[in-house]
């Protein structure tokens, strides 16, 4: 007789404005980049539109032929300026713990450069099973499929698109630049106010 078992639960999480509030650190790093390059950057504006790849933001402030080099400079400066100022989002640790308590795995899939993403998680004590960086929107589906994620949690419409492309359940949190209506219109299966609501949602979802 063959005994069938259900696949292990794997939940993907976005990083910026989902698990971490990186606005203070990113603001500080862009201020330092502005001072270093002599280029004006509206850092207050920058932190209102976190989510897309760094290069997309740099294109607002730097010529196209300098973006790759400038991105390298920013990423090298990032550990000094952005890590210690960043906070865990409310409920972030508890959300990851809830996945583990359900016998599952938590995988962080983010557009952020992977080494810096790992620094954030280590500094804040958020213990993800896997971290995959440098993926945005639909491209996040590559990692979600690879790791067998059936749920993906994010704050941006790009995260919703990534979940839908991977055919994962899209859980959106209205803690980033996209409000609840935008997230629903993008196709999120459920919209939570923040991650403090996630453990209860997960328990009900598994039932």
- The CA-atom distances, in angstroms, between 159 and each of 13, 102, 203 are 9, 23, 22
User: pLDDT value at position 35?
Assistant: 98
> Given a cut of 50, is residue 126 above it in pLDDT?
yes
For 133-154, how does the pLDDT look when each residue is reduced to its tens digit (9 = 90+)?
999 999 999 999 999 999 999 9
Q: Decide: 126 and 119 in contact? Cβ < 8 Å.
A: no
User: pLDDT value at position 156?
Assistant: 98
User: pLDDT value at position 8?
Assistant: 87
Question: What are the beta bridge partners of residue 106?
Answer: 11
How many C-beta neighbours within 10 Å does residue 173 have?
Answer: 32
For 157-181, how does the pLDDT look when each residue is reduced to its tens digit (9 = 90+)?
999 999 999 999 999 999 999 999 9
| CA–CA separation, 120 and 16 (whole Å) | 10
Residue 162: closest CA among 176, 177, 146: 146
**Which DSSP state fits 77?**
H
Question: Binning pLDDT at 50, 70 and 90, where does residue 22 land?
Answer: very high
User: pLDDT value at position 87?
Assistant: 97
**Which DSSP state fits 183?**
H
Phi-psi region of 21 (alpha: psi -120 to 50; beta: other; left: phi over 0): beta
Dihedral, CA atoms, 203, 166, 71, 130, nearest 10 degrees?
Answer: 50
Q: What is the largest CA-CA distance in the chain?
A: 71
Q: What are phi and psi of 9, to 5 degrees?
A: -70, 130
> Given a cut of 60, is residue 3 above it in pLDDT?
no
> Given a cut of 70, is residue 7 above it in pLDDT?
no
User: pLDDT value at position 53?
Assistant: 96
- The CA-atom distances, in angstroms, between 19 and each of 12, 48, 102, 197 are 11, 16, 19, 13
> Given a cut of 90, is residue 2 above it in pLDDT?
no
Tell me if residue 50 falls in helix, strand or coil. coil
Burial of 157 (0-12, 13-18, 19+ CB in 10 A): buried
> Given a cut of 80, is residue 1 above it in pLDDT?
no
């Amino acid at each position: 007789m063959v005994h069938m078992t259900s696949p292990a639960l794997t939940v993907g999480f976005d990083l910026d404005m989902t698990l971490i509030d990186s606005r203070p650190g990113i603001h500080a790093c862009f201020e330092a980049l502005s001072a270093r390059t002599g280029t004006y950057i509206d850092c207050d504006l920058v932190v209102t539109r976190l989510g897309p790849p760094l290069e997309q933001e740099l294109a607002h402030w730097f010529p196209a032929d300098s973006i790759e080099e400038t991105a390298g400079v920013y990423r090298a400066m990032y550990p000094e300026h952005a890590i210690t100022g960043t906070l865990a989002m409310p409920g972030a640790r508890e959300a990851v713990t809830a996945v583990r308590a359900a016998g599952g795995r938590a995988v962080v899939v983010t557009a952020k450069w992977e080494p810096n993403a790992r620094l954030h998680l280590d500094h804040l004590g958020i213990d993800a099973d896997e971290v995959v960086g440098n993926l945005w929107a639909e491209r996040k589906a590559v990692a979600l499929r690879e790791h067998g994620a059936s749920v993906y949690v994010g704050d941006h419409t790009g995260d919703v698109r990534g979940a839908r492309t991977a055919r994962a359940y899209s859980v959106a949190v209205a803690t980033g630049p996209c409000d609840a209506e935008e997230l629903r219109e993008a196709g999120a299966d459920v919209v939570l106010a923040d991650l403090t609501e996630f453990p209860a949602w997960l328990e009900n979802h598994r039932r």
